[in-house]
Amino acid sequence: MEFVESDDGSPFRRPPALDDRIWRHPSEVGSEAGVAPGGPRLVPQHTVWLIAVAAALGASVLSTGLLISMGAVRTGTHEATRTAATLPGPPATAVEPFVAIAERVRPAITQIKVTRGAERGSGSGVVFREDGHVLTNAHVIDGATSIQVALSSGRELSGRVVGSDPVTDTAVVKIDGGPFTVAELGTAADLKVGQAAIAIGSPLALVGGPSVTAGVVSALHRSVKTRADTYLFDMIQTDAPISPGSSGGALVDGKGRIIAVTTAIAVSEVGAEGLGFATPIDVARSIGDELITTGKATHAWIGIEGRDLDGAVAHDLSLDGGVMVSAVRADEPAATAGVAARDVILSVDGRPVLTMGALVVILRAHRPGDVVTIDVLRDRQRLSRAVILAERPADP
């Protein structure tokens, strides 16, 4: 490359011709690759590219460092943006099942408006027969002088009480017309703690159709004390929000099947605790069918008063649990069979009885007149007693 003089007399380099070897790939020249004949060794093209890339990266790092030092870039924001850009979003199927469940179940959920003299109240109900039979809670319709049932469409119909069972807090209301949209009834027999639970009801007497809330099955086999100082046994606990007015609504599983009828919420001096309780659909459906057929529900009865065995006593007796008999009603089945106060009930027909709730649930599977074998522990000796079950009195 030659030097020439400029107009002002200073030397400068003449640009190389376009066909100079510096513009060619080393394979195009006959001399050693990358070396011009008689000239200095030329830098290979791929090395030039590496140098350029390295320089660009260095400049980028320097610029980023400056931006961070000035507070123009937040690393957390930058990382979140990168992640959102590179990771796919949640698939549509993660949301759609809840929409499909709501669309399928909501038409079967009603609002039940109750008048008690000058007072008015409301609850919810589940249409479980096409002819207009609606499952709800006994406390929703207790003392009602008139009932109006509002369908999810907003249409209102007069309703009448078919029957009520305070023991399970279950009732059936009938509306005329139809056929009505019914909900698919499932079972609570195979529920697992942690599985999805969707509550659908009509809270706070709000207009516009049923509300949908979601959560999980929080616990099973709960015993819940009511305001009337009675107990509801074998209840399903959920964290799906259940507000006043939702009583009698549906608790639905992840496949859109009704697994329970929402019944109660946990309340303390500071208000709702975020826990709801529901009657297993197996119990509610069985009682509902019986109320429709006979107008009343019957329950098997052994005629005792009892409580869960104290933990310290259970440990002393080497037991996992049991029911301590605190009193035996005279002339009732247990007394006739020789069961006595202070006996510990261990099993019924070979099924373990660990709590009072478990005893009630086992007896629900029987009818008055059935004979069951009850194993008890008395003075550390195991005894068996054959008990002929009776019908539970209306006011035990």
Query: Which residues are catalytically annotated?
Result: 139, 169, 247
Q: 84-118: buried (b, 16+ CB within 10 Å) or exposed (e) per residue?
A: eeeeeeeeeeeeeebeebbeebbbbbbbbbbeeee
Cα distances from 49 to residues 24, 35, 113, 323, in angstroms, run 15, 18, 80, 84
In the structure encoding, which two tokens stand for residue 322, read together? Answer: 């049991």
Query: How many CA atoms, within 13 angstroms, populate the side-chain half-sphere of residue 302?
Result: 28
Instruction: Report, in this order, helix, strand and coil percent for the chain, each rounded to 5.
Output: 25, 35, 40
**Of 170, 134, 172, 167, residue with least CA distance to 151:** 134
Enumerate the β-bridge partners of residue 11.
Answer: 5
Contact 278, 262 (CB under 8 A): yes
What single letter denotes the amino acid at residue 40? P
10 Å Cβ neighbour count for 168?
25
The SS3 of residue 96 is helix
Alpha-helical runs (H) found in the chain: 45-69, 75-86, 96-105, 138-141, 281-294, 311-316, 333-337, 356-364
Contact 306, 359 (CB under 8 A): yes
Would the CA dihedral through 228, 232, 238, 240 be positive or negative?
negative
Cα(193)–Cα(195) distance, integer angstroms: 6
